[in-house]
């Protein structure tokens, strides 16, 4: 298939998953944030923005600014509206490849973005709506597209972004909020009930973090998401079945996954920041490696330009 | 509202609170939000400010959206075979830290006294031999079960979970209306109400510290596990439900889900050798603690109603042999018999040597001749309740009853004086409640929930505030047109719940590295980013 199309599909997967994860984090933390007095709100809002990968541009950055930055700002793909817009833009370029129902779903979502009130109450509804839409995108992706190469690129993007978002959910533990942080982490991932069913009694930060990091059966855990990415990569490049050269993306994803999956430690909470950092870095590196291997027109053009 | 001129404040709220003062004066009750001069009490100031920023359109759209969320989430109760969303009003009920301190101590005190009473009733019954409560009153209670006489329950607790209903009388004093130590329900609405309110009225939350309620399931699970039979290291807890047709089924699923334990029906259990097992795909699995949400009468066909399909034969013997903990213990109903209720202040003095912290409502015992005479004379101004009723069943409010109803009641009272108690009509306190296009005063009660793990009685901050949605009605039960309100207990100061452990992640990041050193020879290009 065309590299350009593959790249679009990969980014549809990433952007939709990013919108989903961001909406989940926002929904849960907005509730906490809203319970804080205004002065604390400001510092927590800034830290949350940091977890999502941006820096506040001024000191007065507070709750309304946070809502704008991670929910409604169309100009940046780090916000929910921005990533859903970008996903739709990518789908527009690959319209003949994605199923018409998937395109329509993304397009409807895009037009629905502006129909929400941007205050706190409206944002709760917005998050709820986004989760419904992204679930629909996920369902249509899996049920209306052949599970061929194009679908694999979509799944690859989705899985990598999911690992990244779960890492961010775990990082919200460090954000100074009221209440028990592990409950928040789990609720972000929609994992609260699943987690409770696996643990009969003792639950605390460590168990929750372990669950989101390493559980082999929960689909939003980092190990699970990385395994999905690994499988997609393996199917995309079937030549790599024996010893010898393995492509960079598979190596990065595989090393990160196996390290986490078989890592045992007595003090997970102390190591957690490093895990999060490494997972996020691995996702970024894998994404770059995938771009180089499959979507590499930009690089080549630059190189050609240099020689001529 | 800070420094805002009063006129302006009133004008912005005038449409929603129009005529409120008049309606409140008409009820003659204590209003929780407004003092008689229509000035908000200090606990409600922040809330008043938050409400003032909303207009009718805001309020009704939020109320609609909360109702829809409840329906979506299945927060319903069963009404005449139909699932209905449990009505949640948008105005919360607020309790100050000082008031709550009294309520908390009063509820815990009551639970400790009832626990001691039940232990005594099912062993020596010294409370009767010492003349505190007549023996015949205990033994004639419908829920006094001889089947469980003479043994200490495994884990040593009988009242694991209780709901003590309190009301405020016309003077604003809290009084206990009844005790529920069998299967108190409603805590799921406390949890769901808070979730809905956090999203429905966010303005009011940032202004003041409100004590959280979400730890309830963990407290409950920990109490259930601590009272497991001796010698069990990792106790298996289950919630026993009568099934999907029970009106509180939603609550059973929610609690089981939030505790991460199995929700079982009687047919999932099996008793053998005085141990209880559940049938699972991996064979039979031992059950150590059963949180029982069915009535004693249906629990064990070998001991109680033999036609019951809801329970499991052998449970009572298993509990007697110490093979399983049943929470709440079988036979607790004798403690929430309403005639026994009238003796609870004496029980507190007798068992704990303390004065009751929260008083009872004055109660006429119809077995006493003078009291009966007086009640029969004044039937039209009293409330008469059956001693074992729950959910407002069988209750007659004298002033609202027709002469025929009163005549029937009179005959039944003379026939069975043990079966009834009478109390003066209490004007339950009122809280503003959305009704149509404005707020009106509606009567409320309060059910705080207590969890006893054998060492300590923990009271969930707040509890369930039920509200009679019909103007003037005093009946708050959901089966008779009642709704609920979120109940906020204000925290003394903010910094209690917020302070997390000291954050040292930055220094740690520099110190520790558990990941293998990155192999940069391959990632050269990637590192250029």
pLDDT at B527 over 50: no
Most confident of B238-242, B259-263, B369-373: B238-242
Secondary element (H or E) of residue B484: strand B482-489
Domain assignment present for A246: yes
Contacts of A199 in chain B (CB under 8 A): 260
Q: Which of A260, A274, A289 would best serve as a mutation to test chain B binding (most B beta carbons within 10 A)?
A: A274
Q: Calculate mean pLDDT across residues B453-481.
A: 88
A168 and A274 both lie in a single domain: yes
Q: Looking at the structure, do residues A152 and A135 belong to the same domain, yes or no? A: no
Check residue B424 and give its pLDDT: 92
Residues A136 and A239 occupy one common structural domain: no
Based on the fold, state whether residues A205 and A162 are members of the same structural domain. Answer: yes
**In this structure, what are the phi and psi dihedrals at residue B442, rounded to the nearest 5 degrees?**
-130, 145
* pLDDT value at residue B492: 79
Which structural domains are found in chain B, ordered by start? 6-361+426-498 (no CATH), 369-419 (3.30.1490.270)
Whether A259 contacts chain B with CB within 8 A? yes
Instruction: Provide the token pair at B353.
Output: 């040597």
> Could you say which of B198, B505, B529 has the minimum Cβ distance to residue A174?
B505
Q: 130-169 in A: which are within 8 Å (CB) of B?
A: none
The answer on A128 and A12 residing in a single domain is yes
Q: Report the alpha-carbon distance of residue B363 to residue B365 in Å, rounded.
A: 6
The answer, for A198 touching chain B at a CB cutoff of 8 Å, is yes
Give the tokens for residue B219: 């407290």
Residues in chain B closer than 8 A to A179 (CB atoms)? 212, 214, 497
- Tell me the pLDDT of chain A (308 aa) as tens digits: 888 899 999 999 999 999 999 999 999 888 888 888 877 888 888 888 988 888 888 878 888 899 999 999 999 888 999 999 999 999 998 888 889 999 999 999 999 999 988 888 889 999 999 999 999 999 999 999 999 999 999 999 999 999 999 999 988 877 765 555 777 788 888 888 888 888 766 667 788 888 999 999 999 999 999 999 999 999 998 776 666 667 888 889 999 999 999 988 888 888 888 899 899 999 999 999 999 888 876 555 444 444 44
- Any domain includes A308: no
pLDDT digits (tens, 9 = 90+) for B176-233: 999 999 999 899 999 999 989 988 888 888 778 889 898 899 999 999 999 999 988 8
Place of tokens 């997967």: A13
pLDDT of residue B506: 41
The ipTM value here is 0.78
Residues 6+ apart with CB under 8 A from A190: A24, A220
Q: Tell me, what's the pLDDT at B528? A: 42
Q: Are residues B160 and B327 in contact, defined by beta-carbon separation less than 8 angstroms?
A: yes
Q: Is residue A304 part of a domain?
A: no
When the pLDDT of each residue in chain B is averaged and rounded to a whole number, the result is 86
Residue B129, Cβ neighbours under 10 Å: how many?
10
pLDDT the model gives residue A150? 92
Domain span at residue A255?
Answer: 146-296
Rounded average pLDDT over B103-120: 96
- pLDDT number for residue A244: 64
Q: How far is CA B63 from CA B13, B168, B525, in A?
A: 17, 26, 56
Domains of chain A: total:
2
DSSP code at position B309 = S
Min Cα distance B124 → chain A (Å) is 36
Neighbouring residues of B93: CB distance < 8 A, sequence distance ≥ 6: B32, B431, B444, B446, B465, B485, B486, B487, B488
Question: Among A111, A145, A179, which residue terminates a domain?
Answer: A145
Q: Is B256 on the interface with A (CB under 8 A)?
A: no
B50: its two tokens: 């938050």
Same-domain pairing of A287 and A151: yes
Residues of chain B found within 8 Å of residue A195, distances taken between Cβ atoms: 260
CA distance, residue A228 to nearest chain B CA (Å) = 22
Tell me how far CA of residue A17 lies from CA of A21, A51, A133, B232, B286, in angstroms. Answer: 6, 16, 11, 44, 42
Other beta carbons less than 10 A from residue B382's beta carbon: 21
Local confidence band at B501 (pLDDT 50, 70, 90 cut-offs): very low
Least confident of A303-307, B245-249, B295-299: A303-307
For B462: left if phi > 0, alpha if psi spans -120 to 50, otherwise beta; the answer is left
Instruction: Based on the fold, state whether residues A50 and A180 are members of the same structural domain.
Output: no
A271 and B236 within 8 Å at the Cβ level: the answer is no
**Domain co-membership, A19 together with A95:** yes
Task: pLDDT band for B508, please (50, 70, 90 cuts).
Answer: very low
Q: Is residue A303 part of a domain?
A: no
**Alpha-carbon gap, residue A155 to B295, rounded angstroms:** 51
Query: Cβ separation of B512 and A270 shorter than 8 Å?
Result: yes
B225/A201 touch (CB, cutoff 8 Å), yes or no: yes
User: Collapsing DSSP states into helix, strand and coil, what is residue B199?
Assistant: helix
Q: Residue A34: is the preceding peptide bond cis (ω within 30°)?
A: no
In this structure, are residues A30 and A177 in contact, taking their beta carbons and an 8 Å threshold? no
* Residue A197 within any structural domain of the chain: yes
Residue B518 has pLDDT above 80, yes or no: no
pLDDT at B240: 96
Tell me, letter by letter, the H, E, C secondary structure of B89-154: EEEEEEECHHHHHHHHHHHHHHHHHHHHHHHHHCCCCHHHHCCCCCHHHHHCCCCCCHHHCCCCCC
Q: Are residues A20 and A120 in the same domain?
A: yes
A117 touches chain B (CB under 8 A): no
* Cα(B500)–Cα(A214) distance, integer angstroms: 25
Instruction: Answer yes or no: do A242 and A170 share one domain.
Output: yes
Smallest CA–CA distance from A171 into chain B, residue: B505
> Taking residues B146-157, what's their average pLDDT?
90
- What one-character-per-residue DSSP string does A42-69 give? HHHHHHHHHHTT---SSTT--HHHHHII
Regarding predicted confidence, which is higher, A56 or B440? Answer: B440
Which chain A residues contact residue B261 at CB under 8 A? 200
* Paired tokens of B106: 């009063």
A residues 41-60 closer than 8 Å to B (CB): 41
Distance, in Å, from the CA atom of A115 to the CA atom of A172, rounded to the nearest integer, reads 29
Residue A187's pLDDT is what? 86
Does residue B409 carry a pLDDT above 80? yes
Residue-by-residue DSSP string for B383-395: EEEETT--TTTT-
**A305: in domain:** no
pLDDT in tens, B478-497: 777 789 999 999 987 654 44
B518: DSSP letter:
P
Give residue-wise pLDDT tens across range B48-69. 888 888 888 888 888 888 888 8
């Amino acid at each position: 298939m065309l590299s350009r199309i593959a790249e679009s599909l990969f980014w549809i997967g990433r952007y939709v998953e990013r919108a989903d994860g961001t909406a989940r984090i926002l929904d849960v933390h907005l509730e906490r944030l809203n319970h804080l007095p205004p002065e604390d709100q400001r510092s927590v809002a800034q830290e949350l923005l940091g977890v999502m990968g941006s820096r506040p541009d001024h000191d007065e950055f507070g709750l309304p600014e946070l809502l704008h930055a991670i929910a409604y700002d169309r100009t940046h793909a780090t916000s929910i509206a921005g990533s859903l817009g970008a996903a739709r833009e990518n789908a527009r370029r690959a319209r003949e490849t994605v199923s018409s129902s998937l395109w329509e779903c993304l397009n409807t979502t895009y037009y629905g973005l502006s129909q929400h009130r941007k205050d706190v109450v409206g944002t709760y509804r917005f998050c709820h709506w986004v989760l419904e839409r992204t679930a629909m995108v996920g369902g249509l992706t899996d049920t209306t597209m052949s599970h061929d190469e194009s679908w694999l690129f979509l799944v690859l993007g989705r899985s990598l972004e999911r690992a990244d978002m779960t890492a961010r959910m775990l990082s919200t533990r460090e954000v100074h909020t009221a209440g028990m942080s592990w409950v928040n982490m789990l609720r972000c991932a929609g994992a609260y009930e699943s987690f409770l069913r696996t643990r009969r009694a003792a639950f605390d930060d460590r168990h929750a973090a372990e669950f989101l990091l390493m559980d082999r059966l929960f689909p939003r855990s980092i190990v699970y998401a990385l395994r999905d990415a690994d499988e997609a990569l393996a199917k995309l490049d079937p030549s790599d079945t024996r010893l010898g050269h393995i492509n960079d993306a598979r190596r990065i994803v595989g090393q990160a996954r196996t390290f986490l999956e078989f890592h045992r430690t007595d003090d997970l909470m102390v190591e957690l920041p490093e895990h999060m950092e490494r997972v996020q870095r691995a996702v970024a590196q894998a994404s770059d490696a995938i771009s180089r291997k499959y979507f590499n027109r930009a690089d080549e053009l630059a190189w050609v330009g240099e020689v001529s | 509202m800070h420094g805002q001129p009063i006129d302006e404040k009133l004008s912005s709220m005038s449409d929603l609170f129009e005529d409120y003062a008049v309606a409140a004066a008409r009820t003659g009750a204590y209003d929780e939000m407004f003092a008689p001069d229509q000035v908000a009490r200090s606990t409600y100031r922040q809330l008043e400010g938050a409400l003032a920023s909303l207009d009718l359109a805001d309020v009704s759209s939020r109320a609609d959206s909360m109702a829809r969320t409840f329906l979506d989430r299945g927060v319903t109760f069963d009404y005449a075979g139909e699932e209905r969303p449990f009505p949640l009003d948008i105005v919360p009920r607020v309790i100050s830290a000082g008031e709550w301190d009294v309520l908390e101590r009063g509820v815990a005190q009551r639970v400790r006294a009832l626990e001691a009473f039940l232990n005594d009733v099912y062993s020596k019954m010294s409370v009767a031999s010492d003349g505190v409560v007549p023996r015949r009153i205990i033994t004639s209670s419908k829920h006094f079960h001889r089947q469980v006489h003479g043994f200490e329950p495994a884990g040593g607790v009988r009242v694991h979970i209780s709901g003590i209903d309190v009301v405020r009388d016309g003077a604003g004093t809290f009084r206990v209306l009844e005790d529920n130590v069998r299967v108190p329900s409603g805590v799921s609405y406390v949890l769901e109400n808070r979730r809905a309110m956090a999203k429905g009225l966010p303005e009011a939350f940032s202004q003041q510290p409100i004590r959280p309620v979400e730890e309830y399931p963990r407290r409950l699970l920990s109490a259930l596990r601590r009272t497991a039979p001796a010698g069990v290291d990792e106790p298996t807890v289950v919630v026993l439900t009568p099934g999907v047709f029970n009106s509180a089924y939603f609550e059973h699923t929610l609690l089981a889900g939030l505790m991460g334990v199995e929700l079982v029906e009687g047919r999932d259990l099996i008793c053998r050798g005085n141990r209880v097992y559940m049938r699972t795909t991996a064979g039979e699995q031992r059950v150590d603690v059963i949180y029982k949400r069915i009535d004693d009468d249906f629990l064990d066909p070998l001991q109680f109603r033999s036609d019951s399909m809801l329970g499991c034969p052998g449970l009572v013997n298993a509990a007697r042999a110490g093979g399983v903990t049943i929470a709440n213990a079988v036979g607790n109903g004798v403690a929430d018999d309403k005639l026994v209720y009238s003796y609870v202040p004496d029980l507190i003095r007798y068992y704990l040597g303390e004065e009751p912290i929260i008083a009872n409502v004055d109660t006429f015992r119809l077995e006493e001749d003078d009291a009966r005479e007086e009640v029969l004379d004044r039937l039209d101004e009293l409330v008469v309740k059956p001693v074992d009723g729950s959910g407002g069943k069988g209750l007659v409010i004298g002033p609202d009853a027709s002469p025929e109803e009163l005549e029937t009641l009179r005959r039944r009272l003379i026939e069975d004086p043990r079966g009834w108690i009478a109390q003066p009509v209490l004007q339950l306190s009122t809280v503003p409640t959305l009704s149509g296009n404005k707020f009106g005063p509606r009567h409320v009660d309060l059910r705080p929930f207590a969890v006893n793990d054998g060492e300590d009685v923990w009271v969930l901050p707040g509890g369930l505030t039920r509200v009679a949605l019909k103007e003037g009605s005093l009946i708050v039960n959901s089966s008779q047109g009642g709704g609920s309100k979120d109940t906020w207990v204000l925290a003394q100061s903010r910094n209690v719940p917020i302070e997390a452990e000291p954050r040292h992640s930055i220094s740690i990041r520099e110190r520790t590295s558990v990941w293998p050193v990155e192999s940069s020879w391959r990632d050269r290009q990637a590192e250029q980013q």
